[in-house]
Structure 1
Amino acid sequence: MEQPESWFAADYAGARAKFRAAAERAGAALETRVNPNARQPDGGELTTDVARLGPAPEAAAGVLIVSSGTHGVEGFCGSGCQVGMLETGAFDLLPADCALVLVHAINPYGFAWLRRVTEHNIDLNRNNLDHGAGHPANEKYAEIHAWLTPRDWTGPGRERADAAIAAYIREHGMFAFQEAVSGGQYDFPDGLFFGGRALSWSAQTWRAIVDAHCRGARRVAHLDFHTGLGDHGACEIISVEGAGGAGAGRARRWYGAAVKSPERNDSL
């Protein structure tokens, strides 16, 4: 068996090649969706690749769908884990009526260009909503946007921005600052944690993949790999469902005590 180190790649193109090769060796059905809006640094295509093992969509009672690269550069870890699942036969652990669907690099631009966001500076975790119904406001972010995106990244302008941020933290606290920054915003396309004003290509692609592969299933579990939090080498299952909700209870039944929740303040 290959060593786990061999599952991981040094760039997007290498990760894609490893994923597709592992999927072919595992006998998975492969499909490719090309991002028409951007290219790799070397000019190559940017794609989201999907590998499916197990019953066809119309026959699968359950689907485990595992995605990587939602936050672009975090895809290096997720891609390697997906390759490992294919190389070690993880699919064999699933019930016979369940399919495994691996979605590789749902944000290929961020993966290839080492960014968290898409080609339009969109954070996918804040993009997949009904944009026609309006967007949640984040007045706190509006207060600090100019400091986070100064015209000059060195010199007096940067120093003034840093001083303003430090003063804000002294007055309101670090938690309030973090909440203002990372809560998501829809008014500043050049800002941080921008949710977009319409569904991005990646969000549309994700919806199409889920519809094609999960529409007939009675049970669907989605695992999305991220690396933005926690200590080096630490790993946990985080559920974004409310701690007392039905979804959180189901997650605990499926995954046991390993499930953590930001609402309970026990996640990384």
Structure 2
Amino acid sequence: MNPAACFSQTYAQARQKFLAACAELGLPVESQLHPLRGAEDEELAIDVARSGPLDAKHVMLISSGCHGVEGFCGSAVQVALLQDEAFQRQARDASCAVVYLHAANPYGFSWLRRWTHENVDLNRNFQDFSQPSSHNPDYPGLHALLIPQRWPVTLPNRLRLLSHLVKLGRKRMQKAISSGQNSHPDGLFYIGNAPTWSNEAVRAIISQHASRCQHLVWVDIHTGLGPKGHGERIYSGPANSPMLERARRWWGEGVRSSQEGQSVSVPLSGLMVYGAVGEYTPSAFTALTLEFGTLPGPQVLDALRAEQWLHNNPGAGEPRRQQIKRQLRDAFYVDEPQWKEDVLRQAREVVRQAISGLNQETSGAQ
């Protein structure tokens, strides 16, 4: 298999490769159509394919594109696994159905945004909006610095952000920016005030594919944090949970818990992999975020800031728009052969370890 052939340059191309790989296996695809069109005036959709019976005891869900532009990586992983005969055989032998959820946020994927069309971070949006949302006290003081009126930013702007970093410390600063906020709808990492279109679509998919199984394994693929090419295995559920113990049995002691402060990610709420399961939680649930590093953190943040400024200033000229969009794509998708090889190798290892773990759990229960 040529790793580069699994990757795409646009959402439209990625979707076509995914649909073609499903067709090659004879897998039917169900599509949740998005209400808007894409950057190439193409149809946008969350596409779902399932390999394995509807009454399978075990289900592995592999999802891509929660954060839009990060979908280039996750889509390629899904295409590679659909073409991996050894993985398909291993899943069948373990009586494990595999569900491929392609492009949870197709709008962001196509338009090169991390956020949904509502300007919401989908991975902070799985909240109970009937309850008061938690306030992020540090974000309001940073918003005007993060998204200034003019772009590119000035040296004084960078110095003021640096002073906040010194004052708050690295972890608190990261939490202030990225943990989610409900005070500025035109800002970064906005959680929204209601479930987004993608939120409701993903919940419906989980209800259909995971409500009848005994054990759901969910691998959600992301990019943008950590060393270039390294796939950090992140557990984001409750600390001291049997799920954490199980994750480390399956994937090794290298599994990092964001809740315990070990991960490149800060503790988060409103995550898709936990919020979407909700009332449909099977008797056993194991979730892992697979986060692939791209560029250094300051460059990734600068790309997000620039793109949000562009979104807030739609009258910016076309050359600047193209430059900022390319900057964002490069921050979440490293278009280099070695990075692509590293991504597919580590992703295959993770899903195969999960199948082996399910086998061990089943054997131990007998």
Give the structure-2-normalised TM-score: 0.68
Judged with a 3 Å threshold, the aligned counterparts in structure 2 of structure 1 residues 108 and 168 are, in CA distance, closer, same or farther, namely same
Distance 2:136 2:224 in 1: 22
Shift, 1:235, TM fit: 1.6
1:69 is matched with 65
- Structure 2 residue identity aligned to 1:132: S
Which residue of structure 1 aligns with residue 41 of structure 2?
43
Is 1:13 matched with 2:9? Answer: no
Match of 1:78 among 52, 74, 79: 74
**Could you tell me how far apart the structure 2 residues matched to 1:208 and 1:259 are?**
29
What's the offset of the Cα at 1:44? 1.2
Aligned to 2:246: 250
| Contact kept? 1:54, 1:96, Cα under 8 Å | no
TM-aligned CA deviation for residue 249 of structure 1: 1.5
Counterpart pick for 1:133 among 114, 131, 134? 131
- For 2:30, the equivalent position in structure 1 comes to 31
| SS of residue matched to 2:60 | strand
**Matches of 1:266 and 1:176 in 2, distance apart?**
14
* Separation (CA, whole Å) in 2 of partners of 1:259 and 1:172: 27
One-letter identity of the residue aligned with 1:13: A
Q: Is the 8 A contact 1:27 1:53 kept in 2?
A: no
Output one character per residue of 1:225-255: Cα deviation in whole Å (capped at 9) or x when no partner: 0112122221232111234212212222333
SS at match of 2:177: helix
How many aligned residue pairs are there? 262
Whole-angstrom CA distance in 2 between matches of 1:183 and 1:71? 14
* Counterpart mapping for 1:105-124 below 5 A: 105-124=103-122
Distance 1:200 1:194 in 2: 12
Q: What CA distance in whole angstroms lies between the structure 2 residues aligned with 1:195 and 1:171?
A: 25
SS at match of 2:30: strand
Displacement of 1:258: 4.4
Partner of 2:89: 92
Please give the alpha-carbon distance, in whole angstroms, between the structure 1 residues aligned to 2:164 and 2:125. Answer: 28
Equivalent in the alignment of 1:196: 192
Provide TM-score, normalisation by structure 1: 0.92
Cα distance change on mapping 1:134 and 1:263 into 2, 3 Å: closer
- CA drift of 1:165 comes to 1.7
Distance 2:109 2:221 in 1: 13
Contact kept in structure 1, 2:226 and 2:232, CA below 8 Å: no
Residue type at the aligned position of 1:28: L
Instruction: Give the residue type in structure 1 aligned to 2:8.
Output: A
Aligned-pair CA distance for 1:64: 0.2
Counterpart of 1:91 in structure 2: which amino acid?
A: Q
Give 2:134's aligned amino acid: P
Work out the CA distance in 1 between the residues paired with 2:58 and 2:249.
16
CA distance in 2, matches of 1:53, 1:154: 47
SS at match of 1:216: coil
Partner secondary structure for residue 190 of structure 2: coil
Equivalent AA in structure 1 for residue 26 of structure 2: G
Letter in 2 for 1:51: A
Identity %: 41
Q: Tell me the residue number matched to 1:103.
A: 101
Does the 8 Å CA contact 2:64/2:102 hold for their aligned counterparts? yes
| Aligned counterparts of 1:44 and 1:162: Cα–Cα separation in 2 | 38
Aligned to 1:224: 220
- Unaligned residue ranges in structure 1 (runs of 5+): none
One-letter code aligned to 2:34: N
Change (3 A) 1:151 1:128: same
| Aligned-residue CA RMSD (Å) | 1.7
Residue pairs, 1:53-64, within 5 angstroms: 53-56=51-54, 59-64=55-60
